[in-house]
Amino acid sequence: MSTVQRKRIALVGNPNSGKSSLFNQLTGLNQKIGNFPGVTVDKKTGVSVLSNNEKVEIIDLPGTYSIYPKSNDETVVADILLNKEDELFPDVLVVVVDASNLKRNLLLFTQMKDLGLPVILALNMVDMADRIGMGYDLELLEKELGALVISTNARIGEGIDELKKALENKVTVSGGSFFDVTELAKDQITDYLKEHPEDTAYWALQQLTTQGKIEQKDSVQAKDTTLRYGKINRLVKKAEVKKEAVGLKLYSEKIDKFLTHKIWGYVIFLSILFVIFQAIFAWASWPMDLIDIVFSELSAWLSSNLPAGVFTDLLAKGLVPGIGGVLIFIPQIAILFAFISLLEESGYMARVVFLMDKIMRKFGLNGKSVVPLISGVACAIPAIMATRTIENWKERMITIFVTPLMSCSARLPVYTILIALVIPDEYVFGVFNMQGLVLLSLYLLGFIAVLISAYALKRIMKTTERSFLIMELPTYKTPRWKNVGLTILEKVKTFSFEAGKIIIAVSIVLWVLATYGPGDNITNAEEHVKATLVDTNYTEAELNDKVASYKLEHSYVAKLGKAIEPAIKPLGFNWKVGIALVTSFAAREVFVGTMSTIYSIESADGDVNTIKARMGSEINPETGEPYFTLAVGLSLMVFYVFAMQCMSTLAITYRETKGWKWPALQTIYMSGLAYVLSLLTFNLFS
Amino acid sequence: MSKAKTVGDLKPGENGTICCFKDDHLSLKLLDMGCLPGTSVEMKFSAPLGDPICIDVEGYSLLLRKAEAHTISLVE
């Protein structure tokens, strides 16, 4: 921490004004992403080094259209800028203005100016304005607005040096208000200014409004906005310098004819979703396998090279797999956010909302919910992180809540082994493979549950926030790779540090439960096993498998499995399945590993056919028939479709919703649903 | 009762001038977005399912739902 107080500079601007690009240009990799206290709005801060080597702190405030807040994002901005005591209250404001849409952007600028804050106007996207034939007399703008105007093109870094130069000097408040609001509430404002002579009339109006001292504040706000726009219109007309247009707008409209077409629009959207789905599924599996191998090798190496003991065990079997379990999600997170950031940057995401809004709204979701839901098929973790693009709180919560019901890739190995075990490899009507049909039904089951649950939540949840969709449809732009790269980095960092610590903690707890048990059964496992073996003709590997199996059977996890047996018996599960259900909490695919340990086939290296054969030969002592009947298998599959068995998902829900309420509700709801539907399935088929 | 024409009634390619708002709460948001009384807007296209719609406001494209468009009355 530096002892010298750094100058704090805040960036404000409309959404799509290129504010983030400017922030990236100013700070580069010196960024920190956090949250504004109490809300899930990204707080981006960074350090910029000016040319005189002075370091200044830059805050990227959320995009906003006006000082009168209409959303969570906008409230954050108003809260900071209207409170001089706020720890983030800036010394200088840089208002980023989209030159190709000057009128609407100047509303926010003049509001900022009239608050009496030191402001610099960054006239951004001048290239865009050029292309639509719009130019402005900068000197006139500077004079009329009473602020320094710097023309920038943040996408390619033009004007950044000039802006940094301007920040080196002291930015002063010059000239009076752009629009004097005193007349709108004359008595109150005059009284306020008598007490605070250093403040402006606009500052007074805003303070009085937030304190609830303005009667008919909506009508005052409407008058302020309307009259202010009137003055802006006159100024813009005066400052306009028309040039020849290149027809960029038409270009964007032509693309829209195609991308929002009633047939092609959906075909293209579905194709894009398919590519994303493929990418997270197929491309990510490669680095994921690599991470898996590296960590299991490391764990094996540690076990054999460090002196045996509790510490080595904790390190090799608890901590290292725990860290591996966090890192394994990074490829999927990186790939998903590469796509999402490309869609956002190019302007396509707004079209997705346009195409999907009507359908999704029926279910209490948002047009932007589609991307998280589809991503949920790969993994719920990046999917839940992706819901941040949904502004409406209720729609975002519903999306987070239902996303884990989509069958993720970790369920696939469980489905595969259970299907192989109980569903015959036969064809229906000669074309449809039974096993394939069952697999498809499991995915559909999850998706239907998503829609029904979302619809129910829409009805149940109360909100004061009205759902409306009034948003800008930005023109298409070529994405900047720097912005895409920084987004990926930011998301990966957030996940690793925030969700990572919970995941590692829970893996260690699970490791303790699976390694230790009551009494001396665990420590004397080898003798116990040897004593029970009648046949002395066994290999070392077989012995080790039997010992591992014995240990697991006598661990605390097994105690838990046996303890929950009465509860899961109606679903057709025995205590061995119970153990797998408990360990699945680390990650669902652990089911396969646990099953192979219980059936002591660890050394067969998790080969599906071996596990299948062993599980298939398990006999139900009550009936004398094979234990894994069709009813048990289907019941277990249904259970895995619905149950909340993923601590990583809970960790990320906790992080994204800022509390344990939503993760707790998710666990109760999903597991309750799993229980009831498994019960139903088991009784239906047995 | 005569029904004033609203932005929601415009067909693609049609123009209209905003007269007033029927919903006070929404009007504040619409004003922020530059939809002022006296502003001319053009209906550009609607989503394949007819809702939401895209209108041109002073040179930029604004997306809004049909229900919201119906709260903006036009000058006769």
Cβ atoms of A94 and A124 closer than 8 Å: no
For residue A604, the model assigns a pLDDT of: 45
Same domain, A129 and A18: yes
Q: Which two tokens stand for residue A461?
A: 């949840």
Average pLDDT over residues B40-46: 93
Which tokens belong to A482? 């720097």
Q: What is the ipTM of this complex?
A: 0.94
Q: pLDDT tens across B52-66, in order?
A: 999 999 889 999 999
The rounded distance, in Å, linking the Cα atoms of A214 and B72 is: 26
Asked if the Cβ–Cβ distance from B60 to A261 is below 8 Å, we say: no
| Residue A1 clears pLDDT 50, i.e. is over it | no
Q: Which residues in chain B have their CB less than 8 angstroms from residue A358's CB?
A: 47, 49-52
For every residue of A426-456, which 3-state class applies, written as one string? Answer: CEECCCEEHHHHHHHHHHHHHHHHHHHHHHH
Task: Find residue B53's DSSP bridge partners.
Answer: B46, B64
Q: Say which range, A38-42, A118-122, A321-325, A346-350, has the weakest mean pLDDT.
A: A38-42
Q: In this structure, is residue A250 part of a structural domain?
A: no
For A190-210, write each residue's pLDDT tens digit: 999 999 999 999 999 999 999
Nearest to residue A357, comparing CAs of B42, B71, B48?
B48
Domain co-membership, A364 together with A227: no
* B33 with A104: Cβ contact below 8 A: yes
Q: Apex CA A347: angle with CA A345 and CA A352, to 5°?
A: 120
Q: What is the mean pLDDT of residues A256-279?
A: 87
CA distance A345 to chain B (A): 17
Which residues of A make CB contacts under 8 Å with B?
65-66, 68, 70, 100-101, 103-104, 107, 132, 218, 221-222, 225-226, 229-230, 249, 253, 256-257, 260-263, 265-266, 350, 353-355, 357-359, 466, 468-475
Over residues A549-567, the pLDDT tens digits come to 788 888 888 888 889 999 9
CA-nearest residue to B23 within chain A is: A218
Residue A433 in any domain: the answer is no
Task: Let me know whether A475 and A543 are in one domain.
Answer: no
pLDDT of A23 > 70? The answer is yes
Inside any domain, residue A397: yes
Chain A within 8 Å of B46 (Cβ-Cβ)? no
| pLDDT at residue A436, rounded to an integer | 85
CB-based contact A681:A642 (threshold 8 Å): no
Pairing of strands B60-64, B15-21: unpaired
Lowest mean pLDDT among A87-91, A154-158, A309-313, A477-481: A309-313
For residue A246, the model assigns a pLDDT of 66
pLDDT at A622: 77
pLDDT over 90 percentage in chain A: 37
Residue A662 burial (10 A CB sphere; 0-12, 13-18, 19+): middle
Whether the CB-CB separation of A571 and A679 falls below 8 Å is answered with yes
- Candidates A225, A354, A473; nearest CB to B31: A225
pLDDT at A248: 59
Token representation of residue A531: 């004593």
Domain check: are A397 and A505 in the same one?
no
Confidence of residue A42 (pLDDT cuts 50, 70, 90): confident
Please tell me the distance from the alpha carbon of residue A428 to that of residue A205, in angstroms, as a whole number. Answer: 73
Say yes or no to pLDDT of A466 above 80: no
Select from A190, A341, A184 the least CA-distant residue to A276.
A341
Residues A316 and A401 in one domain: yes
Q: pLDDT per residue over A298-348, tens digit each?
A: 988 988 888 888 888 888 877 888 788 788 888 988 998 899 889 888 989
CA distances from A184 to A190, A197, A228 (A): 11, 19, 12
**Contact residues, chain B, for A256 at CB < 8 Å:** 45, 54
pLDDT at A519 over 80: no
Q: Are strands A7-13 and A55-60 parallel, antiparallel or unpaired?
A: parallel
pLDDT at residue A654, as a whole number? 92
Across residues A201-226, what is the average pLDDT? 92
Percent of chain A at pLDDT > 70 equals 94
Residue boundaries of the structural domains of chain B: 7-74
Residue of B nearest to A470 (CA): B64
Identify the closest residue of chain A to B30 by CA–CA distance: A470
Scanning chain B, the segments in alpha helix (DSSP H) are 24-32, 66-69
The four Cα atoms A270, A271, A273, A276 give a dihedral, to 10 degrees, of: 170
Contacts of A100 in chain B (CB under 8 A): 59
Q: Give the pLDDT confidence score for residue A543 in this predicted structure.
A: 76
Domain presence at residue A113? yes
The structure's pTM equals 0.81
Mean of the per-residue pLDDT values for chain A? 86
Best-predicted range by mean pLDDT among A86-100, A260-274, A462-476? A86-100
Please indicate, yes or no, whether residues A272 and A234 belong to a single structural domain of this protein: no
In a domain, A111, yes or no: yes
Same domain, A390 and A302: yes
Question: Scanning the structure block, which residue is given the tokens 């002591």?
Answer: A600
The minimal CB distance from A260 to the residues B24, B47, B60 is found for: B47
The Cα angle at residue A289 between residues A283 and A295, in degrees rounded to 5: 145
| Residue A649 to residue A666: CA distance in whole angstroms | 10
| Rounded Cα distance, A473 and A346, in Å | 11
Note whether residue A387 is domain-resident.
Answer: yes
Chain B residues touching A472 at Cβ < 8 A: 33, 60-63
Distance from CA of A107 to the nearest CA of B (A): 8
- Domains held by chain A: number: 3
| pLDDT at position A36 | 67
d(CA A562, CA A568): 10
* Contact of A504 with B62, CB cutoff 8 Å: no
- Band of pLDDT at residue A370, cut at 50, 70 and 90: confident
User: Does any CB of chain A come closer than 8 Å to the CB of residue B68?
Assistant: yes
Asked if B4 reaches chain A (Cβ–Cβ under 8 Å), the answer is no
Residue B27 near chain A (CB below 8 Å) = yes
Q: Does A2 have pLDDT greater than 70?
A: no
- Whether residue A337 sits in one domain with residue A273: yes
CA B71, CA A453: separation in Å to the nearest integer?
31
Distance CA(A391)–CA(A74), nearest Å, equals 11
Residue from A453, A331, A452, A419 nearest A382 by CA: A331
Q: Which two tokens stand for residue A93?
A: 């404001």
Q: What pLDDT, in 10s, does the model give residues B4-41? A: 899 999 999 999 999 999 998 899 999 999 999 999 99
Q: Which domain holds residue A679?
A: 495-685
Which is it for the CA torsion B16, B18, B22, B27, positive or negative? positive
Planar angle of CA A70, A72, A78, nearest 5 degrees: 70
Identify the CATH assignment for B7-74 out of 3.90.320.10, 2.30.30.90, 1.10.3720.10, 1.10.150.300.
Answer: 2.30.30.90
d(CA A490, CA A32): 8
Q: Are A581 and A655 contained in the same domain?
A: yes
For residue A428, tell me if it sits in a domain. Answer: no
User: Least CB-CB distance to B63: which of A132, A265, A473?
Assistant: A473
- From chain A, pick out residues whose CB is under 8 angstroms from the CB of B29: 70, 468, 470
CATH value at residue A145: 3.40.50.300
pLDDT band with cut points at 50, 70 and 90 for residue A450: very high
- Dihedrals φ, ψ of A92, to 5°? -135, 145
Q: Clarify whether residues A681 and A550 are in a common domain.
A: yes
Identify the residue with better confidence: A319 or A89.
Answer: A89
Find which of A73, A101, A104 to mutate to test the B interface (most B CBs within 10 Å of its CB). A104
- Closest CB from B29, B34, B62 relative to A468: B29
Structure tokens at A258: 């195609």
The pLDDT confidence band at residue A84, using thresholds 50, 70 and 90, is very high
A277 falls within a domain: yes
Residues A24, A107 within the same domain:
yes
Same domain? A321 vs A468: yes
- Our CA angle for A478, A483, A487, nearest 5°, is 130
The per-residue pLDDT of chain B, averaged, comes to: 91
